[in-house]
Amino acid sequence: MLKLNSVSVGYTSKMVVKDISFEVEQGQMICLIGPNGSGKTTLLKAIANIKEFEGDIKYNEVHINSMYRKEIGKIMAMITQNSHTYFPFSVFDTVMNGRYVYMDGLFKGPSKQDKVIVEQALERVGMLEFRKRNISTLSGGQLQRVHLAKLLAQEPEIILLDEPTNHLDLKYQIETLEFIKELTIKEHKISIVVLHDLNLVQRYADKVVMLSEGDDFLIGDTKDVLTNEKLNEFYHLDIKDWMVKTLEMWRK
């Protein structure tokens, strides 16, 4: 179980998320939502321990910021928003980076087992036939699948995704979230996903953390958070009304 206890995170001048506490269990998918600048990504980075925070973040009762980076890497994997490179890595080598924490020993490369795991990961996301391709030649959707394969290769217990549906067409958006959802349930992972599209949140999230532009936040089951009144308050827009009108247009 992942537990946040009165966590605050932000920048030296200003905390963007203040005193937040929640828990996520294995097999649960939690979505972080809120307007731009509300601190979704910042909170996600704090959980990944790549940004400093105040308060406690514990996984199975162990403080994550007391662990070595390699131990954290075995527990959590994250797809960040910008993980592009100028250097022409192949799909296979990119995914092999996910095995970093399991490769011990000086000057030692990947083992046979590492290679098998990478191939399995590529197979699962349907990218095995692209294994030798240069990643700079891939489409946005294909690249996202490569990142997913890398995440699988890392064999994490907690999956952190920062807007994984960005720049993807609707089909890929749904595919990506279906994939994560299935992984979360079948393999008892914890997944924490920053999402903008509230339709996707409605469909896939078990729990929602909604952050406001100020210090306010709301945590609960999806149906309790995504109410008309609360959305209006956090987004300053009658979102539900807008969505329902759109739906009516579709029905015509």
Partner 1 sequence: MNKKLIGLSVALLVLTVLIGISVGSTKIPVQDVFSILSHKLLGTALSEGIEGKTVSIVWILRFPRVLLALIVGASLAVSGSSIQSVLKNPLASPYTLGVSAGASLGVVICIIFDLYIPYFGYMTLTTVGFLSGLVTVFLVLRFARKVDHGFTNQTIILSGMVLALFVNAVLTMITALSHQDLQRIVLWQMGTFSLKSWKYVYAILPFFVIGTLGTLRYAKELDALSFGEEQALTLGVDVEKVKKRLIIYSAVLTGSAVATSGTIGFVGLVAPHICRRVFGPKHSLLIPMSVIFGGVFMIVMDLIARTVIPPSELPVGAITALIGAPFFSMIFFSRRKK
Q: Return residues touching partner 1 (CB under 8 A).
A: 12, 45, 48-50, 68-70, 72-74, 76-78, 80, 82-90, 93-94, 96-98, 100-101, 103, 106-107, 109, 154, 160
How near is the Cβ of 2 to partner 1 at its closest, in Å? 16
Task: Give backbone dihedrals phi and psi of 70, rounded to 5 degrees, phi first.
Answer: -65, -35
How near is the Cβ of 107 to partner 1 at its closest, in Å? 6
| Residue type present at position 143 | L
Residue whose CB is less far from partner 1, 77 or 210: 77
How near is the Cβ of 37 to partner 1 at its closest, in Å? 17
Three-class secondary structure of residue 84 per DSSP: coil
Residue whose CB is less far from partner 1, 158 or 209: 158
Strands 207-211 and 29-33: parallel
Residue whose CB is less far from partner 1, 21 or 97: 97
How near is the Cβ of 79 to partner 1 at its closest, in Å? 8
Residue whose CB is less far from partner 1, 176 or 234: 176
Rounded-to-integer distance, Cα 252 and Cα 243, Å: 15
Residue whose CB is less far from partner 1, 109 or 251: 109
| Positive or negative torsion for Cα 226, 228, 229, 235 | positive
Tokens 């990142």 appear where? Answer: 147
Q: How many C-beta atoms lie closer than 10 Å to residue 30's C-beta? A: 21
Q: Tokens standing for 67?
A: 């662990």
Residues 6+ apart with CB under 8 A from 239: 198, 228, 231, 232
How near is the Cβ of 160 to partner 1 at its closest, in Å? 8
